[in-house]
Structure 1
Amino acid sequence: MIQLNYRDARPIYEQVKDGLRHLVVTGALQAGDKLPSVRALASSLAINPNTIQRAYEALEREGYLYTVAGKGSFASPQADVNAARREGLLKQFDASAAELLFLGMTAEELARRLEEAAGHRTAREERGQ
């Protein structure tokens, strides 16, 4: 499910958060899918449950997860993803695109990359992943 890299400079909770976000974004976790309990995931990754709880709380604030008291945490529908997160990603995209253009990439090459990314997403959706 999630791979931790202890040589990574990022804190463990960030790695867990990024790993879970990736599973939601790629469709490996569909809207409504139940996530492992904090204790179960902490046990399987051999880390402190507080670390998992911190990652779950951050993802809930970002809109990727929702929690039902007594039931657990679940992947949110795509429409529920926080607008602020989307805006932040668009700012990163704009900055990256501007730098790539500065480094000599053409607008057509960027457009092609974007179309390829959209094509990969469409292919995953058609396969039901």
Structure 2
Amino acid sequence: SKTRDHKAAKRFFKKALRSFHVSKPRVITVDKNPAYPIAIEQLKKEKSIPNGMRLRQQKYLNNIVEQDHRFIKKRIRSMLGLKSFATATSILSGVEAMHMIKKEQIALRDQSVQNQKEFIHQLFGLAA
């Protein structure tokens, strides 16, 4: 479709890789859209991404990431929309942090409530 062509894919990858919290990945996993390999090759020619970076097109691996977002989408949907970007940022950050704790995706000495509280305080710059 017109919205999923290689130019749009290239813009998406540039924007995603420009993000402050993203390092240069070794592998990018995407679905089977034919526009992605074209966009990645163009970015490699422009030296926007390293030549050694691999594009992995596998639907089921990408679905794992999408499934992880499902929990957060379910929590946000009940809030009936967020009124400002600042509100959305703070609420989503909190929901994602709690989701990470629940899934034990963070390295804590143990999963005690005290350690979880310290993680949240450190994450959001709160006084201990």
TM over 0.5: no
TM-score by length of 1: 0.35
Higher relative contact order (CA 8 A, sep 6+): 1
